[in-house]
Amino acid sequence: MFRSRSKEEKAPTGKVTADLSKQPRDPQAPKGRPTPKRSEAQSQRRRASSGAPLDRKEAAKRQREARRTDLARQREALASGDERYLPVRDKGPVRRFVRDYVDSRFCVAEFFLPLAVIILILSVIQIRNIQNISLLLWLFVIVLIVIDSIGLSIRLRKQLKERFPDTPKRGAVAYGLMRTLQMRRLRLPKPQVKRGERP
């Protein structure tokens, strides 16, 4: 009754277990791991189907690449004037009109940097009369820029009211005045109209 079984008797049981493992598993039997929550399972399925990255490093890498491509598109758009990829501050028909309006005119403010360099050189020269002339020239340039900017902002406001009566125009005049301070060659987005050509 309590005797040990021989090797021959033990062998068939191994075969039986191997045969049992090949049989389909009973749905009621435990599977050896916890069942994931529905939200977790759905998020895993979504991630797998969308090709979203599973780890942070991969996500950060993809984000950097997307940012790089967006910046490259913006640079191209600033050079070509393509509205689709311009930065938000430059988008829209109002901003485009302001750019064209400013670019079609000569503005005193765009010559501010070269004039400032000349005046600075004159002020360094140790001759009293030349230093006085440079000071007067500096005041004259500033007064001219202020008068020109006031005139431009009045005309621009009037044009915007006529052309875009129902469109929001907040910050459009300030945008135009900031553009006048840049030299025409260095303006971004690049000018799309020639001087004297009315938009």
Residue range 55-68, pLDDT digits in tens: 788 888 888 998 88
Retrieve residue 159's tokens.
Answer: 């044009």
Which is more confident, 17 or 176?
Answer: 176
Q: Identify whether the C-beta of residue 176 lies closer than 8 Å to the C-beta of residue 102.
A: yes
The per-residue DSSP string of 155-186 comes to HHHHHHHHH-SSS--TTHHHHHHHHHTS-GGG
Residue range 92-128, pLDDT digits in tens: 999 999 999 999 999 999 999 999 999 999 889 889 9
Q: Reduce the secondary structure of 26-63 to three states and give it as a string.
A: CCCCCCCCCCCCHHHHHHHHHHHHHCCCCCHHHHHHHH
